[in-house]
Structure 1
């Protein structure tokens, strides 16, 4: 159960990227680059994405309209299914460059598997805008029982390098070389982010997930950098340890309550976040965000396109709604965020309106309506 059933002000609290990191982080201050705001209204770029993206982002728009949230949507209907996304994305980069610190709310963009497919739009966006930290929050919800109770951990993954560097080629027919890029600077940056997140959110332990026993140089660099950073935070009382990724997977499904904050390279984060979602009820209820120095992007934590139920009004919008409340907190609109999060948890806790993934028969629209009624 949650520490306090609907002390939802803290349920999905997120480190505020508007605040400069503490001096120990070693970063220059960013106090002059606040989220874009004109006349009391914040401009947020909305990217519905593919699959169920339009349906779940419409839920957010309906709820925000009901509470009169001071958000002005700047919508870009970019699709990851077409290489033409590059044309739209170039326009988006120009918008970002012109507006200083920028905030996004996004559904999930599809990435093709075929060899002839274009580069992942998600990866390109995170690399080009240096949105380097992914945060996924996995927490047991009141009123919705799963195999494990009292699950409460945050997954922090490095977003811009590792196996997702996109550097691969066929050196000889039937021989493919794929480069995994690891740098000390980015390992240090994400490790500091993890410890700062723990400090600001009253977390007690940070676990580094790696495969340094096999990838002794690449993951060895990540692990050793983490250990060095951890020493600097010893005086804060935050514990730290490390765990090999395959053992982490087993420990998650057998004893998940041992984890608090987890930090890891890109690929491991993608896998672990799906395991974490399964522990607490599925991808439909796990929120997330991606944070950089100049940009912040809020999206469901598991990045499932769910094209099989696209257009059927059956998607669970909870993860998208909760991600949007994290965005509101990032913008300093805590009161609105808390009200919307509380209403969402109340609907789940009551158990009367649940989508198919949570064992019910409610539609996306019905779940959204129930949240709005809880706000009245």
Structure 2
């Protein structure tokens, strides 16, 4: 039996997670769903953004769906982002973020790429300190072990996708130690796995330009934590924006699906939240963690049929309900 820890989080997370669960239950009627808390509002209630009980439930279930998190714009004593805490505490060391053309929402056809982002370290390691008055320092952590794990997962995804191109994205000309270690470690492992013929590399600024100019030229993009965060948000424009941007935080024997969008406090309770990013995140969980390739393909095909049939998305008061039911009907 499949077990899933549902963590709605903040804002519209409490709207899109139930929608995605309704779709999942159509595909897997016997899935056992257990709910847990995390997020800014959880911190306000309990003094911690991710209670130990949530981490324990995630480990016990082995799979989860996270909604969205609200975070303060400034430092709050004792608070650290819930999703960063989940990624690091559960060792969800790789993030998969696909970008593809969809009917209605995409401004360009023919795009089907995936960004594989190192998910555990880099500038998101949380190492910040004051060096002197008026001088703050953040430490960027890049380890050979984390790069090897990312490259190994890249080889696995490349085999499943029959990848035509793998692009390492870095800034080794300016950061020769950290980005150099990332590039060389990933390149050596991928070449050793037989992917040398389709392997290339780009500086991150050039990659950003080319993602705007010719996104269809990319297949797999492999990069560090911060670069992956920025490039995936840029690239999701071609899917139709953050409302169409799914992701999977992927560890060893554990995974957490997560729509890329935020908590959208301005539309909470209005019924206007687009659940497709959460629904498509479930498809990633099905394919890569639960190894339910047939069900994942069915779900993505249902989203495709729904968008083709409806011909438009009207973000009115019944958006969440209407889209969810439309996908269920298309299954």
Pair in the same fold by TM > 0.5: yes
**Larger helix fraction of residues:** 2
Query: 2:94 matched to 1:133?
Result: yes
User: 1:94 aligned to 56, 63, 66, which one?
Assistant: 56
Counterpart-to-counterpart distance in 2, 1:185 and 1:88? 26
**Counterpart of 2:74 in 1: which secondary structure?**
coil
1:208 and 1:264 in contact (8 A); partners too: yes
**For the Cα contact (< 8 Å) 1:204–1:238, is it kept in 2?**
no
Aligned pairs for 1:201-350 within 5 A: 201-234=161-194, 236=195, 238-300=197-259, 302-329=260-287, 330-350=289-309
Report matched runs for 1:1-376 at 5 Å.
41-67=1-27, 69-81=29-41, 83=43, 84=46, 86=48, 88-97=50-59, 99=60, 102-116=62-76, 118-146=79-107, 148-234=108-194, 236=195, 238-300=197-259, 302-329=260-287, 330-352=289-311, 354-356=313-315, 363-375=319-331
Cα distance in structure 1, aligned partners of 2:48 and 2:176 = 36
Distance 2:314 2:244 in 1: 11
1:332 CA drift (Å): 4.1
Q: Distance in 2 between matches of 1:290 and 1:121?
A: 13
Question: What secondary structure, in the 3-state scheme, does the structure 2 residue paired with 1:57 have?
Answer: helix
**Range 129-138 or range 208-217, more displaced:** 208-217
Give the Cα–Cα distance (whole angstroms) in 1 for the partners of residues 191 and 298 of structure 2.
39
CA-based RMSD: 2.1
Cα distance, 1:187–1:67 mapped onto 2, change above 3 Å: closer
CA, structure 1 residues 336+165, in 2 after alignment: closer, same or farther (shift >3 Å)?
A: same
Unaligned runs of 5+ in 1: 1-40
Q: Per-residue displacement from partner, 1:223-254 (whole Å, max 9, x unpaired)?
A: 111221232133x5651111111111111001
2-structure distance, mates of 1:294, 1:336: 19
* CA distance 1:124–1:193, change in 2 (3 Å): same
C-alpha distance 332-158 of structure 1, shift in aligned 2 (>3 A): closer
The total of aligned residue pairs comes to 327
Q: Tell me by how many angstroms 1:280 deviates.
A: 2.0
Q: What whole-Å deviation, never above 9, does each CA across 1:283-307 have from its counterpart, x for those lacking one? A: 111221011013111111x242222
Tell me whether 243-252 or 117-126 shows the greater mean CA deviation: 117-126
Output the TM-score relative to the length of structure 1. 0.81
Query: What are the ranges of 5 or more consecutive residues in structure 2 without an aligned counterpart?
Result: none
Aligned CA distance change for structure 1 residues 85 and 311 (closer, same or farther; 3 Å): farther
C-alpha offsets along residues 5-27 of structure 1, whole Å, 9 cap, x if unaligned?
xxxxxxxxxxxxxxxxxxxxxxx
Q: Is the 8 A contact 1:81 1:112 kept in 2?
A: no
Contact kept in structure 2, 1:353 and 1:370, CA below 8 Å: no
State the TM-score, normalizing by the size of structure 2. 0.91
Cα deviation, residue 85, structure 1 = 6.0
